[in-house]
Amino acid sequence: MSVTLPRHASCRHPCPCYKHHPKLGSTAMTVRTRFAPSPTGLLHIGGARTALFNYLFARHHGGEFLLRIEDTDRERSTAAATQVILDGLAWLGLKTDAPPVFQSTRQVRHAEVAHQMLAAGRAFKCFLTAAELDGLREQARAAGRGMRIDSPWRDRDPAEAPTGAPFAIRLRAPREGETVVDDLVQGQVRVANAELDDMIILRSDGSPTYQHAVVVDDHDMGITHVIRGDDHFTNTFRQVQVYAAMGWEMPRFGHVPLIHGADGAKLSKRHGAQSVTDFRDMGYLPEALCNYLLRLGWGHGDAEILSREQAIALFDIDGVGRAPSRMDYAKLAHVNGVWIRAADNERLTDEVLHFLADRPGLALGPDAAGRIRALMPQLKERAKTLVELADAASFLVHPLPLPMAPKATALLSAENRLMLREVAAALATTDFSPAALDTTLRAYGERTGRKLGTVAQPLRAALTGSTTSPGIEAVLVALGRDEALVRIEAAVA
């Protein structure tokens, strides 16, 4: 099954590039990848990374990226759940090259292939009942042979079965030898066929099992590279046997290690955020999440901050590591901060308005956007998430009286309130430009023998209700003269 591929000098693994594929030549084959989630109601962060890797791999090689919804379990699958995946991929900016394929629509084809295998003797009818199955599993466990079971119907005449008895179709897997997978990430791995049992490909109700459907669909969709989570690795050996049984050409496999929680344990509910929706709501930018996810499990020298274009140019499967990695929220926050600073002010203003819209007690009037936009260049320098950005901007759109932080209240002493009256007077006749304001404030400080900080901090408290904010001149400009004077007046009253 394995094809020996040449190596790039820079590739750790046999190069999967179609350009170097000995059998396919430079034009015969286009790279085609797919992301195949089951619609369970959320787009998992691990799934998001898998989708990203598939997308980048396809783009890097000039190929296609497809989506297949594995909705054969109709109890868990809903249109809403599918929409969550579609929305998530759209938010991440992972565009597919074709409409999604719904696995549930392909059951006839899956059954057809199963029956072809039956007719060819590569599969057999198994009449085992659930109770018999349990007994065999119990035996297998007792014998210390793992959980694999052997169906007696592999070598029994189906005619011996009770007439009309329901049956499942099992793959007639080889008993001798071994099955080899030449994985793009994990390397060459082999398993003795004696370890693999005859998996069911078609259930007794005629529906296909996942293991069978994936193979049929990947083959029919012309998938050349199956890049997926490492949790599918063991399954691959049985899937490979289906390809072999049908005489189909094998895709290349690349199993990406899983993402663990910050504590190193498997990602689960108790780890909180797992869905890309959660990350969006926590104020992460899609390009930042993608950038972070890209670097989780993949590396290319010292590259850290990468745009989508750069990622496409640099990404290849040989840069994917083999060890699982942990979620690191501190680093995610840092990366997000970098992308926030790089983001367009107008876009960030819209985002902040969106986050602020959910908060009570704010005055999101006609001048709200203008104030936020005016201060955005300074605001975005000090935020790591859009939530923080919204927090830092909220004072701009808060009606009077301003909520006062204790430290801010402390700054508004009687003495400082007298000072602020003088400052307000100076401000009343100052042009509201950063340079002019700076000059005025410094001049006032010099005239009254005060250090700039002792002037700026009380002013900051009066204007923002806080002791931290962007530069005071920028705050004044964003608020505008009228609002600034009103706020000072309110603070000194």
- Residues numbered 354 to 393 that lie near RNA (CB under 7 A) are 381-383
Q: Quick one: tokens of 313?
A: 């140019």
**Nearest residue (CB) to RNA, 79 versus 147:** 147
- Choose which of 161, 367, 457, 489 interacts with RNA (CB under 7 A): 457
If phi > 0 it is left, if psi is from -120 to 50 it is alpha, else beta; for residue 449 that is left
Per-residue interface string for the shown chain with RNA, residues 289-318, x marking contact by CB under 7 A: ------xxxxxxxx-x--------------
Q: Angle between the 481-492 and 472-479 helix axes, to the nearest 10 degrees? A: 110
Q: Please give the structure tokens belonging to residue 278.
A: 């959660």
- Tell whether omega for the bond before 401 is within 30 degrees of 0, i.e. cis: yes
Q: How far is the CB of 489 from RNA (least distance, A)?
A: 20
Closer Cβ to RNA, 42 or 247, answer by number = 42
Please, how many CA atoms are within 13 Å of residue 135, restricted to the half-sphere of its CB? 7
Q: How many residues bind RNA (CB under 7 A)?
A: 94
Q: Judged by CB, which is closer to RNA: 76, or 421?
A: 76
**3-state DSSP assignment of residue 485:** helix
Among the listed residues 460, 461, 465, 484, the single contact to RNA using CB under 7 A: 460
Instruction: Report, in Å, the least distance between residue 339 CB and RNA.
Output: 12
The letter for the amino acid at 197 is: D
Judged by CB under 7 A, the chain residues 221 through 240 that form the site for RNA are 230-235
Q: Is 269 known to be catalytic?
A: yes
Q: At what angle do helices 434-448 and 452-464 cross, to 10 degrees?
A: 120
Which residues neighbour 56 within 8 Å (Cβ) at sequence distance 6 or greater?
294, 311, 312, 315
Which residues, including other chains, have CB under 8 Å from residue 314's CB and lie 6 or more apart? 60, 300, 303, 306
Whole-number minimum distance, CB 364 to RNA, in Å?
24
Q: Which of 91, 102, 210, 248 binds RNA (CB under 7 A)?
A: 210
Bridge-based pairing state of the strands 101-102 and 178-183: unpaired
CB 29 within 8 A of CB 18: yes
Q: Which of 30, 78, 107, 207 binds RNA (CB under 7 A)?
A: 207
Dist CA 424 CA 493 (whole Å): 13
**Residues 212, 18: Cα–Cα separation, whole Å:** 26
Strand 187-192 vs strand 178-183: parallel, antiparallel, or unpaired?
antiparallel
The residue written with tokens 């899956």 in the block is 110
What letter would DSSP give residue 282? T
60 lies in the site for RNA, by CB under 7 A: no
Does residue 126 bind RNA (CB under 7 A)? Answer: yes
Kindly identify the residues of this chain, within the stretch 177-196, that bind RNA according to CB under 7 A: 186-187, 189, 191-192, 195
CB 476 within 8 A of CB 466: no
Mask 65-94, x = binds RNA (CB under 7 A)?
Answer: -----xxxx--x------------------
Stretch binding RNA (CB under 7 A), from 41-49, 94-102, 197-205, 419-427: 197-205
Q: Which DSSP category does 53 fall into?
A: H
377/341 Cα distance (integer angstroms): 8
Rounded Cα distance, 463 and 477, in Å = 11
Residues 269-288 that bind RNA (CB under 7 A): none
Binding span for RNA by CB under 7 A among 330-338, 351-359, 395-403, 422-430:
330-338
Q: Which is nearer to RNA, 179 or 224 (CB)?
A: 179
The least CB distance from residue 424 to RNA, in Å, is 16
Task: Report the residue from 249, 438, 483, 489 that binds RNA according to the rule CB under 7 A.
Answer: 438
User: Between residues 24 and 445, which has the closer beta carbon with respect to RNA?
Assistant: 445
Contact region for RNA (CB under 7 A) — 106-114, 201-209, 276-284, 344-352?
201-209
Q: How far is the CB of 298 from RNA (least distance, A)?
A: 7
3-state SS class at 155: coil
What CA–CA distance (Å, rounded) separates 436 from 27?
65
Identified binder of RNA from the candidate list 203, 417, 450, 481, rule CB under 7 A: 203
Question: Using CB under 7 A, which of the segments 8-16, 22-30, 217-225, 363-371 binds RNA?
Answer: 8-16
- Minimum distance of RNA from residue 245's CB (angstroms): 18
465 interacts with RNA by CB under 7 A: no
Residues 476, 488: contact at Cβ < 8 Å? no
Rule CB under 7 A: which of 133-162 touch RNA?
Answer: 133, 137, 144-149
Of 20, 154, 219, 260, the one binding RNA (CB under 7 A) is: 260
In whole angstroms, the minimum distance from the beta carbon of 103 to RNA comes to 6
- Residues designated as active site: 269
